[in-house]
Structure 1
């Protein structure tokens, strides 16, 4: 039975030309080394070295075996190097904050995969509003946060993007247009309006301001998208929602694109008060790949 010590001894004998010197290098007695060499040759059924009074030299077959042994030892060293480099990732933690919709739709499956690849890293997630994400990032209380429409100077890892869609009751005059028709932002904002925020600072009001327009007749403001759909069905007003938040059941609703599409982008941004840890870097690399 041959083990790693036998192969280390084999290479050492080839390098030193002496069993005595090789035994000292690998931490064996001379007699134990001689027995190990004899045992290896007996197991292989071949002579690997010729013993001379002052020199132990490899046979032709021994040279081939030694070459393969060096490959084996090199592979073992590569394995050790790989493990040593990854050692900081064997333990660690990551704190991530996101608003719930992106967490459920995008992050949860990605984090499940990351946990499978890095079982020693603890990932903690927080469901918060997008304004709270910025507060937590600025305070250095989280490692990563999902932000909407990140600024160019922030090093952001984009998770996805969607566009804003108009939602009207099916009996609304604007909803009577052809199946492939659109509605302009300006004419939508002129209607009685149900302002839905989804807990985000990016909503119909901020979009109107950015376009130099205003919401003229806000009938009610709600946080939950589903509440807005119920109110739209009842004829309280129209609304503007991100594509990701559209309901699966659309009875009584007409969903229309804007004539000039407006998009929102959501991305992971790191804390700007502290450099990313090895664990955070590993997660960002997985997302980039």
Structure 2
């Protein structure tokens, strides 16, 4: 069954020439977008795009379908604009704090959609660490903050999740395992290690502590994930990173899942000292839908 998101994705692929870029535009993961495109073609019983190594191009039939999809989406936007004109526009300011990777991968596409629905609300985003998010919320300096792994009693609106993955040098002994092989957290933490934090308290060291394990040989600690990948390529050590931080170019690296998967979750929470503003409530309601 096809829904509005499928048609938006179809047009985005045509505009960007890439399923990956289109997925970011509409707020989907690359794998979900690929599955959605395949599902659309299967439902319609026709090939809409030709997948080439560096480009995704529409077929002749695909061009015709895309043209009609644009007409449909344009009509829906006209309906939405007419409704917006007939009702008072919600106005205000919205301050959101978030750590960089989550902002880029998970929150920004949703904020683009929010801006279309509520053009009268000005959104300001702050890129900070997870500790700083908590401090800003407690000080009532922001309306909403993205937190990691919210507790069961926390009133939070989920944004997404990603898995922690091992990254080792391509020539490392662990990298010689068969395709699809996993690595345990215990054996990974015993290796010479590049500790990357991303400015967050949740990192390889804290995950080890939670599992009753310790990092025994930290060769270097860095804040930026990109620095960790460069050091791993040079053979300084292995590392453990969230899936959303993986580089597009992975030459010299072997990415391996953990034998017992560990994931991190992201969610939006409001400042505890006050009731969410109308602008904050509108965003939370959109995300909940």
**What is the correspondence of 1:2-151 to structure 2 with a 5 Å cutoff?**
83=87, 87=88, 90-151=90-151
CA distance in 2, matches of 1:256, 1:109: 28
Any idea what the Cα deviations from partners look like across 1:136-163, whole Å, max 9, x if unmatched?
A: 0011111100011011111111110010
CA distance in 2, matches of 1:158, 1:117: 20
Q: Which range moved further: 160-169 or 106-115?
A: 106-115
CA distance in 1, matches of 2:249, 2:121: 39
State the 1:206 CA deviation: 0.4
CA distance in 1, matches of 2:241, 2:118: 36
CA distance in 2, matches of 1:234, 1:201: 26
Partner of 1:155: 155
CA distance in 2, matches of 1:181, 1:114: 41
- Normalized against structure 1, the TM-score is what? 0.69
Give 4+ residue runs of structure 1 displaced > 6 Å after superposition: none
Are residues 1:218 and 2:218 paired? yes
State the 1:164 CA deviation: 0.4
Structure 1 stretches lacking a partner, 5+ long: 1-78
Partner of 2:268: 268
Partner of 2:179: 179
State the 1:225 CA deviation: 0.8
SS in 2 for 1:244: helix
SS in 2 for 1:214: coil
Are residues 1:255 and 2:239 paired? no
State the 1:116 CA deviation: 1.5
Partner of 1:23: none
**What is the correspondence of 1:181-200 to structure 2 with a 5 Å cutoff?**
181-200=181-200
Any idea what the Cα deviations from partners look like across 1:223-277, whole Å, max 9, x if unmatched?
A: 1111111111111100000000111111010000000000100111111111011
Please tell me the root mean square deviation across aligned C-alpha atoms, in Å.
Answer: 1.5
User: How many aligned positions are there?
Assistant: 206
Partner of 1:205: 205
- Normalized against structure 2, the TM-score is what? 0.69
Partner of 1:59: none
State the 1:90 CA deviation: 2.2
State the 1:107 CA deviation: 1.3
- The structure number with the bigger radius of gyration is 1
